[in-house]
């Protein structure tokens, strides 16, 4: 007998029962007062999650679609942009910008490290003719378990004409992000991570400065054209411009209700506390974190595979024997790391359960440590 899989993954994340409950309901039509009420409530609550007074726009897409919307709405062919990449999702922003013919300066940071804000400052200061029109950055890089200091980077663009575009897909609602206070110009998110809804919705919000930049953009777009969504928000008959993913919207609205009740500060604190516990547990097992502990994400912890241990097998044992889903590395980190997510709908006991299973799976692969050492370290941090 297998229990339902416990996903300790960087997305999709587990769904609360309140979310599953609305998903089983018969479909309603999107051009109705019933749907409008839920739609408006969701968007009002998203403002709180984004910490912005701006409209948040909802796309039927995965997070990548919302990233593309940022690129093709804010820039024009040949525009010079700086893409800060610390992993697979930073690289994706560069690829999208290149696909649209932008002139991409890429600041590629070694996988496992956060960007050094001094390096960004240097590139921007050297750009004396202010050719660089925008800076792209990943808030939380799930491929490496590293978080960038968005607040610090935002000081470099906040009072300038440059736009700061933040991929907050895996961080929003889990890590502190203050769109308006920090002066972020574009924040992109997705439904299936800390926002505790199923995958299928991309979110994007723009600052006033970014809305002005939209007016200049000459890149071709139709589905991603944010001006249509802005217009649509004012009038139900065009709101949204295309058939929304009705069920997923209802699910997201239900998930946000839970988050509002919990309060963002408490949610941030939970992610931080649980991440510290997982970090200490990993260290107690004699494992090494991929990042410096100061840069290690509160959303997902990446540890290096111990020498002579087949980490792929450990992950398979966790998934198949113990019904705990964790993931391995991407691209050149494949087979070299294990990533343990702690994001969205989870609690301390999920961490304990998953960590117990991790200990067992490591022991079964012949990795030596004092049984219970990791779990004890985790418990000490959690309680």
Rank residues 160 and 330 by Cβ distance to its own copies and give the closer one.
Answer: 330
Name the minimum Å distance from CB 265 to its own copies. Answer: 26
Rank residues 243 and 288 by Cβ distance to its own copies and give the closer one.
Answer: 243
Handedness of CA 186, 192, 196, 202 (dihedral sign): positive
Structure-derived torsion over alpha carbons of residues 380, 272, 249, 192, reported in degrees to the nearest 10: -80
Chain centroid to Cα 25, Å, comes to: 28
**3-state percent breakdown (helix, strand, coil) of the chain, nearest 5:** 45, 15, 40
User: Who contacts 341 (Cβ-Cβ below 8 Å, separation ≥6)?
Assistant: 7, 8, 9, 10, 11, 13, 299, 300, 326, 327
Name the minimum Å distance from CB 127 to its own copies. Answer: 24
Name the minimum Å distance from CB 293 to its own copies. Answer: 27
CB 339 within 8 A of CB 145: yes
Name the minimum Å distance from CB 133 to its own copies. Answer: 17
Rank residues 155 and 257 by Cβ distance to its own copies and give the closer one.
Answer: 257
Rank residues 145 and 244 by Cβ distance to its own copies and give the closer one.
Answer: 244
Name the minimum Å distance from CB 60 to its own copies. Answer: 5
Rank residues 8 and 163 by Cβ distance to its own copies and give the closer one.
Answer: 8
Name the minimum Å distance from CB 159 to its own copies. Answer: 31
- The rounded distance, in Å, linking the Cα atoms of 173 and 102 is 30
Binding region for its own copies (CB under 8 A): 4-5, 7, 9, 11-15, 20-21, 23-32, 60-65, 68, 72, 95-96, 99-101, 190, 192, 198-200, 219-223, 225, 241-248, 319, 325, 327
Name the strand (E) or helix (H) holding 41: helix 33-50
Is the peptide bond prior to 240 cis by the omega test (within 30 degrees of 0)? yes
Name the minimum Å distance from CB 31 to its own copies. Answer: 7
Name the strand (E) or helix (H) holding 72: helix 63-74
Handedness of CA 50, 55, 57, 58 (dihedral sign): positive
Complete DSSP assignment for 50-69: HT-SS-EEEEES-HHHHHHH
Chain centroid to Cα 154, Å, comes to: 18
From residue 380, give the alpha-carbon distance in Å to each of 113, 154, 299: 27, 36, 20
Name the minimum Å distance from CB 324 to its own copies. Answer: 11
Name the minimum Å distance from CB 119 to its own copies. Answer: 26
Nearest to residue 35, comparing CAs of 239, 341, 177?
A: 239
Name the minimum Å distance from CB 72 to its own copies. Answer: 8
Is the peptide bond prior to 117 cis by the omega test (within 30 degrees of 0)? no
User: Who contacts 229 (Cβ-Cβ below 8 Å, separation ≥6)?
Assistant: 57, 58, 59, 240, 241
Biggest alpha carbon–alpha carbon distance for the chain: 66
Rank residues 30 and 353 by Cβ distance to its own copies and give the closer one.
Answer: 30
């Amino acid at each position: 007998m297998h229990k339902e899989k416990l996903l300790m993954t960087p997305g999709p994340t587990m769904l609360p029962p309140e979310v599953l409950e609305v998903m089983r309901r018969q479909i309603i039509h999107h051009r109705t007062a019933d749907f409008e009420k839920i739609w408006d409530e969701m968007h009002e609550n998203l403002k709180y999650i984004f910490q912005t007074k701006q409209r948040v726009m909802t796309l039927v897409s995965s997070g990548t679609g919302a990233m593309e919307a940022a690129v093709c709405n804010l820039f024009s062919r040949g525009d010079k942009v700086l893409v800060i990449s610390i992993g697979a999702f930073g690289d994706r922003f560069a690829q999208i910008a290149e696909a649209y013919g932008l002139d991409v300066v890429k600041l590629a940071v070694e996988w496992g490290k956060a960007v050094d804000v001094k390096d960004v400052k240097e590139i921007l200061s050297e750009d004396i003719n202010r050719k660089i029109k925008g800076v792209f950055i990943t808030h939380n890089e799930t491929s490496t378990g590293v978080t960038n200091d968005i607040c610090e980077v935002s000081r470099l663009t906040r009072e300038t004409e440059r736009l700061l575009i933040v991929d907050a897909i895996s961080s929003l609602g889990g890590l502190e992000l203050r769109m308006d206070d920090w002066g972020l110009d574009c924040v992109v998110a997705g439904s299936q991570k800390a926002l505790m809804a199923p995958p299928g919705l991309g979110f994007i919000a723009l600052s006033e400065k970014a809305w002005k930049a939209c007016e200049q953009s000459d890149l071709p777009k139709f589905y991603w054209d944010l001006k249509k969504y802005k217009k649509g928000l004012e009038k139900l008959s065009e709101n949204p411009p295309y058939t929304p993913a009705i069920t997923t919207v209802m699910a997201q609205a239900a998930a946000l209700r839970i988050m509002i009740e919990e309060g963002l500060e408490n949610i941030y604190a939970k992610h931080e506390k649980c991440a510290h516990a997982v970090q200490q547990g990993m260290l107690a097992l004699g494992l090494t974190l991929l990042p410096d502990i100061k840069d290690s994400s509160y959303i997902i912890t990446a540890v290096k595979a111990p020498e002579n241990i087949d980490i792929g097998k450990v992950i398979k044992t966790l998934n198949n024997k113990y019904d705990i889903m964790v993931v391995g590395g991407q691209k050149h980190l494949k087979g070299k790391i294990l990533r343990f997510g702690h994001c969205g709908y989870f609690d301390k006991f999920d961490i304990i359960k998953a960590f117990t299973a991790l200990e067992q799976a490591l022991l079964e692969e012949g990795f030596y440590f004092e049984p219970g050492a990791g779990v004890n370290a985790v418990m000490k941090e959690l309680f």
